[in-house]
């Protein structure tokens, strides 16, 4: 009887928590599409950094992202990065070839996203990550194919997260120097060139630049293959963990430190969004502190 009582004491709080609204989730923008919530958040943060006075020089920012499902399964997780250049006020800019110029609050800017996925992923979102006995530890055993890749837009990437009802995290915006922006453009050009392919488990392919994963497409920007993860294999380096590992690469590696113009706190700087079926209702999966809710 005592044992049954102890079990009930353990189970009842869990049941109560599972069936109650999440009061730590912000529902104020619940009816705003997730993509709009994210871009509005970026615009507000960058505008605050620029201030009300004249912007006398070009300014550059990066916004790292990740999404993942409950359990952080690699086939349902993704790491990606947006890069922004805000033009100086009252100057004739020289736009970056291949990037569209946009305007927000009378300021011109250009932006792009590094989001590396199989070329048909928008219509066939079934990702092969590990296939074969022991393939998580022995890359030679992995039977997943090398695929043509495509660098998809931020809007397309967020649609994938919404379709899977995933949690989405973002860091920044962090201000960077022009050489960091140039590295981002160079990486985008490499991905768009078609000379490199996609493979989620890229351990046998990334060194020779045959194929890379989403994580390595954005990691370091000047290098294609930092490792991390268990025994340096990249194991568990996907979703939030993957983007956190990229930020660690940016902040701790000597060659990258001079590219960031501000400190990074990987844990405290993280902000995010979680799916909620109903306004002020239960949130099926919330790995974030005080996130905003979305449903479309």
As a whole number, mean pLDDT of residues 125-150 equals 93
What tens digit of pLDDT does each residue of 84-126 get?
999 999 888 889 999 989 999 889 999 999 999 999 999 999 9
In a domain, 137, yes or no: yes
Q: In which domain, by residue range, is 195 found?
A: 30-294
Sorting pLDDT into bands at 50, 70 and 90, what band is 23? Answer: low
Sorting pLDDT into bands at 50, 70 and 90, what band is 235? Answer: low
As a whole number, mean pLDDT of residues 164-185 equals 94
Tell me what pLDDT residue 197 has. 95
pLDDT score of 3 more than 60: no
As a whole number, mean pLDDT of residues 259-280 equals 92
As a whole number, mean pLDDT of residues 269-290 equals 95
In a domain, 11, yes or no: no
Q: What are phi and psi of 232, to 5 degrees?
A: 70, 15
Sorting pLDDT into bands at 50, 70 and 90, what band is 220? Answer: low
Tell me what pLDDT residue 236 has. 65
Is the distance from CB of 191 to CB of 151 less than 8 angstroms?
yes
In a domain, 18, yes or no: no
Tell me what pLDDT residue 215 has. 83
Tell me what pLDDT residue 254 has. 54
As a whole number, mean pLDDT of residues 28-43 equals 97
Tell me what pLDDT residue 219 has. 74
In a domain, 72, yes or no: yes
In a domain, 245, yes or no: yes
d(CA 153, CA 195): 19
Helices (H), the chain: 2-18, 34-50, 154-164, 178-192, 214-218, 239-252, 254-257
Q: Residue 93 has which token pair?
A: 């800019």
d(CA 260, CA 264): 9
CA dihedral 196, 121, 35, 294 (to 10 degrees): -140
In a domain, 48, yes or no: yes
Tell me what pLDDT residue 231 has. 36
In a domain, 163, yes or no: yes
Tell me what pLDDT residue 248 has. 81
pLDDT score of 5 more than 50: no
Sorting pLDDT into bands at 50, 70 and 90, what band is 32? Answer: very high
What tens digit of pLDDT does each residue of 7-21 get?
333 333 333 334 334
Tell me what pLDDT residue 80 has. 95
In a domain, 141, yes or no: yes
d(CA 158, CA 120): 16
Tell me what pLDDT residue 223 has. 57
As a whole number, mean pLDDT of residues 244-267 equals 79
pLDDT score of 232 more than 50: no
**DSSP sequence for 73-139:** -GGG-EEEEEEEEEPPTTS---PPTT--EEEETTEEEEEEEE-EEETTTTT--------STTTTT-G
As a whole number, mean pLDDT of residues 217-238 equals 55
- Better pLDDT: 183 or 170: 170
**Number of domains forming the structure of the chain:** 1
Is the distance from CB of 233 to CB of 207 less than 8 angstroms?
no
């Amino acid at each position: 009887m005592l044992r049954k009582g102890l079990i009930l004491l353990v189970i009842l709080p869990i049941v109560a928590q599972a069936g109650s609204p999440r009061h730590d989730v912000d529902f104020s923008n619940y009816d705003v599409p997730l993509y709009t919530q994210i871009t509005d958040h970026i615009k507000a943060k960058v505008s605050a950094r620029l201030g009300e006075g004249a912007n006398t020089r070009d300014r550059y920012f990066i916004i790292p992202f990740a999404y993942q499902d409950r359990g952080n399964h690699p086939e349902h997780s993704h790491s990606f990065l947006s890069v922004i250049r805000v033009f100086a006020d009252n100057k004739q800019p020289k736009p970056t070839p291949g990037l569209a110029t946009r305007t927000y609050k009378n300021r011109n800017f250009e932006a792009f996203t590094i989001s590396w996925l199989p070329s048909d992923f928008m219509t066939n979102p079934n990702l092969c990550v590990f296939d074969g006995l022991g393939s998580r530890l022995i890359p030679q055993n992995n039977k997943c194919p090398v695929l043509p890749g495509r660098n998809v837009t931020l809007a397309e990437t967020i649609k994938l997260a919404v379709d899977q009802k995933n949690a989405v995290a973002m860091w920044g915006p962090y201000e960077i120097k022009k050489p960091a922006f140039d590295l981002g453009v160079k990486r985008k050009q490499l991905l768009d060139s078609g000379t490199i392919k996609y493979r989620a488990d890229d351990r046998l392919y990334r060194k020779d630049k045959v194929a890379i994963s989403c994580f390595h497409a954005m990691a370091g920007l000047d290098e294609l293959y930092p490792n991390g993860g268990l025994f340096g294999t990249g194991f568990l380096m996907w979703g939030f963990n993957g983007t956190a590992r990229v930020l660690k690469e940016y902040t701790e590696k000597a060659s990258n430190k001079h590219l960031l113009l501000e400190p990074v706190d990987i844990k405290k700087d993280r902000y995010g969004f979680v799916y909620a079926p109903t306004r002020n209702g239960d949130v099926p999966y919330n790995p974030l502190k005080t996130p905003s809710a979305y449903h479309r």
